[in-house]
Each structure stands twice: as C-alpha cells, then as structure tokens.
Amino acid sequence: MKGFTLVELIITIGIIAALSTIGFLSLFGYRGNQDLDLTAKEIVITLRNAQDRSISQETDAGRFGVHFENSVSAGGFYDLFSGPTYATGTIISKNSLRPTIQFSDPTSGNNKDVIFTPVSGLPNASTTITISLKRDTSILKTIIVNTNGQIQY
C-alpha cells in the first residue's frame, strides 16, 4: 500500500503550524521595532524642523517648538508650534503616536516642550524624550536634545 497514515499527516500539520506561528511572531516583533525606529525618526525630523524655522525666523514669533503630551485617555501626541509657549502659540502640525508606541518620558499624564531660540536655534533646556513599544516597554528609543542644539537618538 502506498500513501500516508493518519499519524504522519497529523505530525506534518503540527510541524507546519509550529513553523508558521514562529514565523508570524518574529514578523510581528520586527514590525514593532520598525514602528519604533520610524517614530523616533519622525520626532527627530519634527524637532529639526522647529529648530530650522527658529534659526530662519520664519514668522514674527521667531520661536518654534515641539510639544510632547502623554495623555492618559487619548494616547501620546506631539505638536509643532510657533510662539513663545505652547499655550499661547499657533499649532502648525499635529502628530499622534502609532497605536503600538507610547511615551515613557514624558510619563503618563505629563507633557514636555522643546522651544528653540531665534537665530541661534538653541533649545530652552536640555531634554530627553523616550518612546517604547506598548507590548514590551524594555524596547525603547531615547531622543536627546542637548544644550548645544544637537538632536540625536
């Protein structure tokens, strides 16, 4: 007789299912890491945009900044704004964090502002912004804005 027994067929299906699960989980982890890296790059681009606009004094306000908010209910977001403060300034662009990403710093319910001075483009203070994956907070990226105006992650 030729053919497969039921036991051989079940073992083969089990092996295929295990390999598929492992492949799916590693792809899911890779996607989360890609989201984290892309979000860090987008935040750095927004910070550099604010710095460049402050240096060129694009508007009468002269100052540009980025407001980071880790809202308890709505999730994290960051806004590019012009003006001396976020509260009195004008929002230029609004960006929400991806659903898989969260702020670790600022902590939940808090916010931070990075405001750049006109002409020099120096920040008001040295600041760090930390983002992490929601499913594994040990996987994170830290964005540093130092007092010399360097922005790195």
Closest CA relative to residue 52, chosen from 144, 147, 120, 145: 120
Confidence of residue 62 (pLDDT cuts 50, 70, 90): confident
Phi-psi region of 119 (alpha: psi -120 to 50; beta: other; left: phi over 0): left
d(CA 106, CA 110): 6
Query: What are the pLDDT digits (tens) for 126-143?
Result: 999 999 999 889 999 999
DSSP labels for 133-152? ESS-TTSEEEEEE-TTS-EE
Report the top-level CATH class of 6-152.
alpha beta
Query: What are the pLDDT digits (tens) for 108-117?
Result: 999 999 999 9
Percent of the chain beyond pLDDT 90?
70
Choice between 123 and 32, residue whose per-residue pLDDT is larger:
123
